[in-house]
Structure 1
């Protein structure tokens, strides 16, 4: 059930401000080197590259009150929010090229705001090795890339949780987390307490990616905006070494392809984040090329030979 896609806007957010290692700031350029724009155009999409957003540089300081670089993270997320919201208002499909995953806060708060204005429901697929549901009390590191989902659900510092104009920006019931396999103990309790729906690797091992995605995509309808927040560390590090927080035991190439193809089959994809690509840790840009390959599948490149007519 592939519907014609909206025109696409690429938005670079070159910062590692929320991360624990340097290098994700080079992610947008690596995705461009891997030809993300021309490859999407080859599928008949209209693609505009909006260039890179600007924001404060990374001061690389220790945490204050459980948060590292809070002022800088806030500035970057405001810039992301405004850019993503502007593209949605133009009827375009924004692809945020990260950057570390703290920027998912700005992106998804903009999507949630757009859905409120348009009277649409929102479904967020969070493809990640980590739940990113820490708070300043729970976090072992203070790195804000471990907190965006909690912030979106209203648990975080005032200046971050208010970015989309409504607190909380989203309900935990709108989120489906897929591929999770590294969660801090306190964070795990908080995830259960808030009722997030998580399809972790144990679930995927036992039931298969197909069943996980059927459940994650259930009840989507024509009035649902589907947002995919794709952290490249979702993938197994054997195939995607270019991330700062590798966790063994992630989805294989085929499992990841199936995940993306089933999202494409819904015809509902309306916004996308591609996060945590770290070329400094990559091997000949293979992780960026794999990410672009999977994004192609999100936009309808299918490995299927049989006619689904």
Structure 2
């Protein structure tokens, strides 16, 4: 892993309908992330936050389906440019969110440099909807599909040609709330998914060993970690909590194994909502997981 880390805040709440997630980057910084990463031995630069153009009210695109489409695209375009520049300068991009629609921008920026990027999608949800299958019109539930080349052209074609990610290069970990359209998509496209069922049966160590081996052919791996992948007991400050999730300890083990494998080339931690949190618990958890991912050790 590169020894210089560049932090980008993405205070966007336009990809869903619950207010507060725009304060996620501030909550993560308040939880001491910069100091913690520096103690591990990294050089850290904080590039501040992407400016978000907020509409006066939720806006629908011309097909009356996607909420705030043009504002999400505008913000993700700027994020893609920042990520592109960070990688061009030889630094490791670490992005704080913000709702998960931001991953469209993150992966678009990465795709300028990694043509065979692997993705670990650590999430209770698949985010594999399109405007045809989404029950809500919330773009944060479409970001992985768009990065795979499916969905609205403005999302799919953001910052360059699609797909940004190949379907055989994706592993979803922690899924337990999938819409019917997403289940069909997973079956039809052969997406690798470890639901809570597999994690309970196999154990997290075996799941991570398989996931790391599955992505061994890629030219780097991006970690997209939604804090709702964890159980609400450990991460209550998220917009779409789903009980029965990954534990704090399982998540640390996953991050530690990724650090040992040395395959992570970029990462984003998303959906931290301090308005819904308990004494900033979710942001503190996010920062602890970042420490494990970046090689923090007890001894």
Q: Please, what TM-score do these two structures have when normalized by structure 2?
A: 0.96
2:8 counterpart SS class: strand
2:189 paired residue number: 194
Query: 1:288-307 alignment to 2 at 5 Å?
Result: 288-303=283-298
Alpha-carbon spacing, 1:62–1:164, altered in 2? closer, same or farther (3 Å): closer
Q: 1:7 aligns with which of 4, 22, 29?
A: 4
2:155 paired residue number: 160
Give the superposition deviation at 1:59: 3.8
8 Å contact from structure 1 (residues 243, 282) kept in 2: yes
Q: 1:24 aligns with which of 12, 21, 24?
A: 21
Give the superposition deviation at 1:269: 1.5
Q: Answer yes or no: is 1:281 the counterpart of 2:276.
A: yes
Alpha-carbon spacing, 1:220–1:141, altered in 2? closer, same or farther (3 Å): closer
8 Å contact from structure 1 (residues 55, 79) kept in 2: no
1:229 counterpart SS class: strand
CA root-mean-square deviation: 1.5
Give the superposition deviation at 1:8: 0.1
1:206 counterpart SS class: helix
**Structure-1 separation of matches of 2:55 and 2:171:** 31
Alpha-carbon spacing, 1:61–1:84, altered in 2? closer, same or farther (3 Å): same
Give the superposition deviation at 1:221: 5.1
2:74 counterpart SS class: helix
**Structure-2 separation of matches of 1:77 and 1:250:** 28
2:223 paired residue number: 228
2:82 paired residue number: 83
Q: Answer yes or no: is 1:40 the counterpart of 2:37.
A: yes
Q: Answer yes or no: is 1:137 the counterpart of 2:139.
A: no
1:224 counterpart SS class: coil
Query: 1:236-275 alignment to 2 at 5 Å?
Result: 236-275=231-270
Give the superposition deviation at 1:206: 0.8
1:114 counterpart SS class: coil
Give the superposition deviation at 1:55: 2.4
Q: Answer yes or no: is 1:209 the counterpart of 2:208.
A: no
Unaligned stretches of 5+ residues in structure 1:
none
8 Å contact from structure 1 (residues 15, 58) kept in 2: no
Deviation digits for residues 15-62 of structure 1 (CA, Å, limit 9, x no counterpart): 101012111100000000001111100111000000111121144426
2:70 paired residue number: 71
8 Å contact from structure 1 (residues 7, 46) kept in 2: yes
Number of residue pairs matched by the alignment: 297
Moved over 4 A (4+): 219-223
8 Å contact from structure 2 (residues 98, 272) kept in 1: yes
8 Å contact from structure 2 (residues 169, 218) kept in 1: no
8 Å contact from structure 1 (residues 16, 58) kept in 2: no
Q: Answer yes or no: is 1:147 the counterpart of 2:113.
A: no
**Structure-2 separation of matches of 1:67 and 1:131:** 18
**Structure-2 separation of matches of 1:278 and 1:14:** 10
Unaligned stretches of 5+ residues in structure 2:
none
**Structure-2 separation of matches of 1:58 and 1:30:** 23
Give the superposition deviation at 1:220: 4.9
1:178 paired residue number: 173
Deviation digits for residues 170-214 of structure 1 (CA, Å, limit 9, x no counterpart): 111111000010001122111211111001101101111111111
Q: Answer yes or no: is 1:128 the counterpart of 2:127.
A: no
Give the superposition deviation at 1:223: 6.7
